[in-house]
Amino acid sequence: MKTLVAFLVGLVFGLGLLISQMANPAKVLGFLDLAGAWDPSLALVMGGAVAVGVVAFGVSRRWRQSLLGEPMRGPTATRPDRRLVVGALLFGAGWGLAGFCPGPALVAAGAGHGEALIFVAAMLAGMGLFRLLGPR
């Protein structure tokens, strides 16, 4: 049952990324190009995602377990640290350079886009490097 739910949630997420064009790097880079031909349409997508997230996190604080019976574990950190800030900067730089973040990159790679395959390979290499060199 958990595998089926995970598949369905991933499918809905992937379809949402495709429909909103978040898996299209040209659309994303157009949104990030404030000095050029700026495309503000993805602000609505992000605003909708933030609104849903605020409600979902607010409701989930009261829950001890998920709908599938798994324990609910929220963040334990209360303040940003150096690792969070550096990671956010790297994430933003990668997003701005490539037009992909991890979820949309996986969707685009699954659709066979070559640049997404390169991004995913680089992302996996970075994750592997962190696993080897990062804190334990």
- Angstrom distance (rounded) from CA 9 to CA 24: 21
Determine the structural domain holding residue 48 and report its residue range.
2-133
The full length of the chain comes to: 136
Nearest residue to 103 (alpha-carbon basis) of 23, 33, 37, 3: 23
Give the total number of structural domains in the chain: 1
User: 3-state DSSP helix/strand/coil percent for the chain, to nearest 5?
Assistant: 70, 0, 30
What is the predicted pLDDT for the residue at 136? 65
- Angstrom distance (rounded) from CA 46 to CA 128: 29
Where does the pLDDT of residue 50 fall: very low under 50, low under 70, confident under 90, or very high at 90 and above? very high
- The pTM of this model reads 0.74
What is the predicted pLDDT for the residue at 75? 79
Q: Write the pLDDT tens digit of every residue in 98-115.
A: 888 898 999 999 888 899
CA 7 to chain centre: 17
pLDDT at residue 85 is higher than 70 = yes
Q: Can you tell me the mean pLDDT for 65-90?
A: 88
Nearest residue to 8 (alpha-carbon basis) of 74, 67, 71: 67
